[in-house]
Amino acid sequence: MSSQIAVAEKPKRGETSFLEDPRTRRALNIAIKTIVGVIVLTYAVFPVLWTISAAFNPTSSLRGQQLIPANPTLENFRTILEDEPFFTWLWNSIKLATIASLAGGAITTLSAYAFSRYRFWGRGTMLGGILLIQVFPNLLAMVALYALLLTIGQYFPEFGLNSHGGLILIYAGGALGFNVWLMKGFFDSIPRDLDESAYVDGASQTVVFFRIILPLVRPMIAVVMVLSFFGVFGDWFLPNLMLTDESLYPLMLGLQTFIGTNYAQNWGPFAAGAVLGAIPQLIVYFTLQDWIVGGLTAGSVKG
């Protein structure tokens, strides 16, 4: 009994297999990217859509909620606006985020410019220390920050515990390390010939910084300030640790206090408050959108 061994026929010279065809590989590449993009987009957008849906859901409960409410209502918005000091919480968040982002942006810009343009004793050690600090989680500093504000509050109550001033001090310096490195890389990409030409023409260091260098880094400053604004606006942990007066609560802490432990009954108003709280952030983003995109693009190319 004879047996036959099947041998795969090799493609002829000049022919390519299905997977080696450039058009097929290009189509597979596009398909894979599309699938990954859809998964990432769904992961990012679905919680937002679910929160918006809960804000208009008449049941105010997580049970039986549908993505598209059968009978949408504004009752949840009415509850959070009438029964709670919502606008006080919102104003506190806007105030904290605005002042902290402005102060942090100014300190970051000046520090990064100094590290980029000047050579002084301890410069490398300080840069290394700033980078090393970023390795440790912020949670490790909470006890020290609490003790620091407690001590400061004994002499300056406006910047101690249970004050917005104390929170602003922490927020302004909280992300200083990362932001300084980010801005320094951007400053390093600006040719020093601009500085030297201005000095030759008789310009002072102040004129060089404010008239020549600063306009070039405005997009990156906008990125740093917007990221700081969003981070402060959405923070819950630090206010919960440092504040005891409910009239000083920012929005996130106020909403958490409102919902308490009764999630089943207060989820609708909580979602409504979250939707309303996103409006200031959207306004800031769309107002500075061109600068943000320009800063991120320049940072990815030059930094």
Per-residue pLDDT tens for 183-225?
A: 888 888 888 888 888 888 888 888 888 988 888 888 888 888 9
Going by pLDDT thresholds of 50, 70 and 90, the confidence category of residue 300 is very low
What pLDDT shows up at residue 230?
Answer: 93
pLDDT, mean of residues 161-166: 93
What pLDDT shows up at residue 266?
Answer: 76
What pLDDT shows up at residue 262?
Answer: 62
Distance CA(121)–CA(175), nearest Å, equals 24
Residue 1 has pLDDT above 50, yes or no: no
pLDDT, mean of residues 130-135: 80
Which of 265, 275, 231 has its CA nearest to residue 138? 231
Residue 284 has pLDDT above 70, yes or no: yes
What pLDDT shows up at residue 2?
Answer: 47
Of 107 and 83, more confident: 107
pLDDT, mean of residues 61-72: 71
Going by pLDDT thresholds of 50, 70 and 90, the confidence category of residue 301 is very low
Side-chain-side CA neighbours of 149 within 13 Å: the count stands at 24
Domain ranges of the chain: 22-76, 90-302
Token code pair at residue 106? 């100014």
pTM for the predicted model, two decimal places: 0.82
Please give the torsion angle defined by the CA atoms of residues 287, 273, 239 and 84, in that order, rounded to the nearest 10 degrees: 130
Residue 270 CB neighbour total at 10 angstroms: 22
What pLDDT shows up at residue 277?
Answer: 93
**Cα torsion angle, 253, 231, 47, 291, sign:** positive
Q: Are 219 and 298 in contact (CB under 8 A)?
A: yes
Residue 56 has pLDDT above 60, yes or no: yes
Q: Are 159 and 153 in contact (CB under 8 A)?
A: yes
CATH of the domain spanning 90-302: 1.10.3720.10
Residues 6+ apart with CB under 8 A from 172: 100, 103, 104, 107
Percentage, residues of the chain above pLDDT 70? 86
Mean of the per-residue pLDDT values for the chain? 83
